[in-house]
Amino acid sequence: MAVVQQAMQGYHYVFDELSDPRTKDWWLVSGPGPLLTILATYLYFCTKAGPRYMKDKKPYNLKQVVMIYNICQIILSMFLSVIGITFFLTEKYENKCYSVDYSESPRAMLWATGAWWFFFAKITELMDTVFFVLRKKDRQISFLHLYHHTVMPIVGWMGVKYAAGGQAIAEGCINAFIHVVMYTYYLISGLGPEYQKYLWWKKHLTTMQLRETNGGRRLFRRRESESKEEEKKQQQTIYSTRMAAIIGLLWQGYKRVFQELPDPRTKEWFLIAKPYQTLAVLGLYLMFVLEWGPKFMKNRQPFNLDKVLIAYNSFQVIACAYVFIRSLQVAWLWDYKWICEPVDYSNSPQAMEIANICYYYFSLKIIDLLDTVFFVLRKKNNQVSFLHIYHHTGMCLLVWGAVTYLPGGHGTLIGVINSFVHVVMYAYYLLSVVMPSVKNSLRVKKHVTQLQILQFFWCVVHMAIIVFKSDCAYPRWTSAMFLPQNLFMLVLFVDFYIKTYIIKPRQQMKAKLQTTTVDQNNNNLPKNGAVKAGNGMNKMNGLNEENIYVKNDLNKAVNENSNNGTPHNGFCGNVNIFENGTEKSNCGNGNCRGCVRLSEMETGLGISKETMCLLQT
C-alpha cells in the first residue's frame, strides 16, 4: 500500500503541483491519460488496424473531405500566426529572452490560449496520416512522418501544461505560418492536374520547413546569448529547479520502492530487489525466443536434445517436489491458516526457511524459461505461443515481487499448488522423452490440462478470500496483481481445453464418419473398402453372408469380437446391415444378444455416443 501511496504522491506532484495553475484543468491538459490514449489509438490504427482493414479494399475517394480539412487547417494556422504576430508587436520582441507570464492578465491569458490552440492543432493534424491510410498512400507513412506527428502533440501538451506562453510562442508562430503555406499547397494540388502549374514553389516549401527548424534553434540560442544575465539566471533557475525536482522525485521513488520497502532479509539476494537484473534476464529471454533463436535455427536441423531433456525434466521433478513437500511440512500442513496468513518478517528459523523456499521457487521460475529455449532449438515453433511466453514472463515478475516484498504468508500457497502441478507436468515431459508413446496419449495430455485449469481456479479462489476479509494482515492490494493474472490464465487454458479436447475431436469424428460410407451393391465389394461381416456374424443375425456388409471402421472389431457365431461380451458388431440394397437390421431389431459398453466403443473405434448404433437384445 505504501508503494501505491508513494506513486500517487509523485503523480500529484508532477501533474498537479508543477503545472501551470491557469491551464492545469483545461480540456486534454489535466492529465497525460487523454493524450496518451489518443496517440496510442493513432499509432495502432496507422500501423496495424488501418492497413489490415484496407488490405482487400479499394482506396476511399476523400477528395472533398480532404479539401475541407485543408481549408480548416489553413484557417487555424492563420489564427495562430496572428496570435504570434500580436505577441511580437505588443511585447517588443527582440530575439531576447521572454519568460512566461503566469498571471491572469488579458495578454497573459491570450498567450496561454494561443498555446492551447497550437496543441489542439497538433492533435487535429494526426488526421493527415489517417487519410493516407484510407487512401492507401502507404509510402507516405514513413518513420519520420509518424515520429513528427507523435512528438509534436506531446511537446504542445507540455508547453500548455507547464509554460503556456513566453519564448516558445516564437517557434509556434513560425510553425503556424509554415503550415499555412503547406496546407495551401495541399489544397491546390487536390484541385486537379490543371492546377499543377501553379505549384512551382513546391521545392521552396521543404526549404522553409528546414529553415523553420534551424531558425527556431537560433532563436533559442540567441535568447541565451543576448538576454540579460539576471533574466537568464532566473529562467535557468526555474527550469533547473523543476527538472531537479522531477529527477529527485524519481530517484527518491526508486530508493523508496527498491531499497526501503523490500524485505531486508531478501533484498541482497541474487536477482532480488534490483529490478534491472530480472528485467535483463527476461529481455534476453524474449529476444532469444522471438528473434535470435528462430533466426539462428532458420537454416539448421533441429537439435537432438533427448539426453539434455531427460536430465532437465528429472531435475524439475525433483526440485518441484522438494518445494512442494517442504512447504507443506514447514507451513501449510501445521502452522499456516488457509483463510488469511500474514507474512512473518522475523529472523526465526521457520520464517527464514519459508523465505528460502520462496527464493528456491523463484529460481525455478527463472529455470523454467529454458522450456521455451528448448522449443526453439528443437524447432518446435508452434509451441512458442503467446500463452506460453506470457505465462513464463508473468510468473517470473510476480514471484520476483513476492520474494522482494512478501516472502511468506498467504500468497505462498500459489507456489505450493504450482509446484505440485509442475511435478506432474515435468514427469509427463520426462516420460514423453523416454517413452514416446506417452507423448501421443490424448488422455494423459487432457488430464494434465485439467490439472492446470484446477490450479488456476484454486489460486483465484485463494486470493479472492482476502478481498472480502477486511481484517486480514496480509496486504489486500496483492489481489489486484494476482487475480487478473490467474483469471487471464484460467480463461486462456479453458479456451485451449475446449478447442483442443472438445471441439477438435468432434470435428475430426464428424469428418471421419462423413467419409465412411456403405456400398449397397449386394454383388460387389463396397467402394470405401467396407468388408463382409465374417466369423459367423451373419448366422447370428440370420442373414445371407454374401449380402451383409459392415462399415469399414467396425471390421476390425467384428473380427476380434466374434467366435463361432457368438460375439464376446455381447458385442453386436454391426452398425447398419444391408440386404439387396435395403437396410435389413439396425438398433432395436432384437437380433443381438447384448451390447458392448459405449465407453469401450468410443475408446476402441473413436465413435461418439450420438453416432453409435448398437443392436439391442
10 Å Cβ neighbour count for 99? 14
Residues whose CB falls within 8 Å of the CB of residue 217, separated by 6 or more in sequence, listed in order: none
| Model confidence pLDDT, tens digit, residues 55-76 | 888 998 888 888 888 888 888 8
Active site residue 392: no
What value does the mean pLDDT take over residues 402-409? 93
Radius of gyration over every alpha carbon of the chain, rounded to an integer in angstroms: 37
Q: In the predicted model, is pLDDT for residue 92 greater than 60? A: no
Q: In the predicted model, is pLDDT for residue 230 greater than 70? A: no
307 compared with 513, residue with greater pLDDT: 307
**Which pLDDT does position 493 carry in this prediction?**
84
What value does the mean pLDDT take over residues 188-211? 58
Q: Can you say whether residue 436 is alpha, beta or left, with left for phi > 0 and alpha for psi between -120 and 50 degrees?
A: alpha
Which contacts of 380-389 are long-range, i.e. CB under 8 A and separated by 24 or more positions? 380/302, 381/294, 384/289, 384/290, 387/492, 387/493, 387/496, 389/286, 389/289, 389/290
Range 264-274 burial, b when 16+ CB lie within 10 A, else e: ebbbebebbbb
What value does the mean pLDDT take over residues 474-494? 83
What value does the mean pLDDT take over residues 320-326? 96
> pTM for the full model?
0.50
**Which three three-digit cell numbers place residue 209?**
520547413
**Which pLDDT does position 234 carry in this prediction?**
59
| Model confidence pLDDT, tens digit, residues 537-578 | 433 343 333 333 343 444 444 444 444 344 433 334 444 444
546 compared with 218, residue with greater pLDDT: 218
**Which pLDDT does position 286 carry in this prediction?**
93
CA–centroid distance for 118 within its chain = 35
- Give the model's confidence band at 97: pLDDT under 50 very low, under 70 low, under 90 confident, else very high: low
| Model confidence pLDDT, tens digit, residues 233-288 | 555 666 566 667 777 777 887 888 888 889 999 988 998 988 889 999 999 999 99
**Which pLDDT does position 308 carry in this prediction?**
95
444 compared with 419, residue with greater pLDDT: 419
- Average the pLDDT over each of 85-89, 269-273, 391-395 and give the range with the smallest value: 85-89
Q: What is the average pLDDT score of the chain? A: 76
**Which three three-digit cell numbers place residue 602?**
468410443
Q: In the predicted model, is pLDDT for residue 579 greater than 80? A: no
**Which pLDDT does position 516 carry in this prediction?**
58
**Which pLDDT does position 88 carry in this prediction?**
64
Q: In the predicted model, is pLDDT for residue 587 greater than 90? A: no
**Which pLDDT does position 196 carry in this prediction?**
60
Active-site residue, from 12, 148, 204, 568: 148
